Amino acid sequence: MSKLFDPITFRGVTLRNRIALSPMCQYSSEDGFATDWHVTHLGSRAVGGAALIVVEATGVTPEGRITPNCLGIWKDDHVPGLLRATSFIKQRGAVPAIQIAHAGVKASRRRPWHPAPNAYVPEHEGGWMPVGPSAQRFSEDGPVPHELTVAEIRAIRDAFAAAARRAVAAGFEIVEIHSAHGYLSHSFLSPLMNRRTDAYGGPFDHRTSFLLETVRAVRHAIPASMPLFVRISATDWVDGGWSLEESVELARRLRAEGVDLIDCSSGGAARQANIPVGPGYQVPLAERIRRDAEIPTGAVGLITEPAQAEEIIAAGRADLLLLGRQLLREPYWPLRAWSELRPGVPAPIATEYAWALPETRRR
């Protein structure tokens, strides 16, 4: 029997299988509000059979968005739109989760399909000044980011907690903190991006302070029965950058703070990184952290085929698979995976859908 379709429980939440929609920015919001696009995008993957639907990186402050068109959860007005999406996801038997985020030095960028994709959006065009642990650009364009004061760091930490409380009100059942890809939390972790000399920079204990403080604040803000995930870049893929060994130690500390799963991605802190992209290239990162930190992990990155996904779960290399572009291309991929891995056995999701149709439509 396929292990990919075994349920898994985190605290008070059970997922019907090990397939999750990875959080992917849709760049389709105005002032942070969810739209019909989000309901359709997220809901179709729930109908398609994924167990966990993770909403894209959602700004905990207006300045925490990657682009002016990214989703937000910095004010109570955002809750009703998100509630529409979570309600539909749950109606289809999936679990809604949200990735709360702050883009840091990578904020105020243009959408990927703009003639100048990812270029800085100046303030007079609706952009804003990026912020970070240090006054250090990630790329050559745009302003030197504002170096956060200690008071500003703590205000962003509190914004994460407030966002988590709104996530509960919006019907989400799992919260994930984004600490990867060169965004704010990861930029504190990586020596390539963090040049501070105070309690938030320098040695490992200091560079991990912002994330650990944020985790404590969020864990306190949500119910004890609600799972908390953290996405990390497990390595910067650059000598002198954040390393896999540091990720293992960080994962141990996150587990002690009440984190339930480490979502294992990589890269984003340096443009010169030599990333060995290929099928399942980040799975060994999830496998190492799972084994050495003794915490459940999620694997992400070019997981495209059912047999490949089955091997990862069956071999105990990860506990959850987060599919991104594959589920964009093929929203019903979980049903195809079922038919390939459990041939001759009706898929419960497809059967449920068929029996919901009028008698004349079943023939």
Query: What does 156-200 look like in DSSP terms, one character per residue?
Result: HHHHHHHHHHHHHHTT-SEEEEEE-TTSHHHHHH-TTT----STT
Task: Say how far residue 109 (Cα) sits from the centre of its chain.
Answer: 19
CB 85 within 8 A of CB 43: yes
> Tokens 């069956």, residue?
314
Distance CA 113, CA 118 (A): 9
Q: Which residue in 247, 254, 157 sits closest to 200, CA to CA? A: 157
Structure tokens given for 194 = 């963090």
Please tell me the total number of residues recorded for the chain in this structure: 363
DSSP label of 103: -
| The residue type at 126 | G
- Sign (positive or negative) of CA dihedral 338, 342, 347, 349: negative
120 is catalytic: no
Which of 27, 183, 200, 332 is labelled catalytic? 183
Q: Which residue in 265, 318, 266, 321 sits closest to 293, CA to CA? A: 318
Distance CA 284, CA 264 (A): 9
Q: Where are the alpha helices (DSSP H) in 222-305?
A: 244-256, 283-293
Which positions are annotated as active-site residues?
Answer: 183
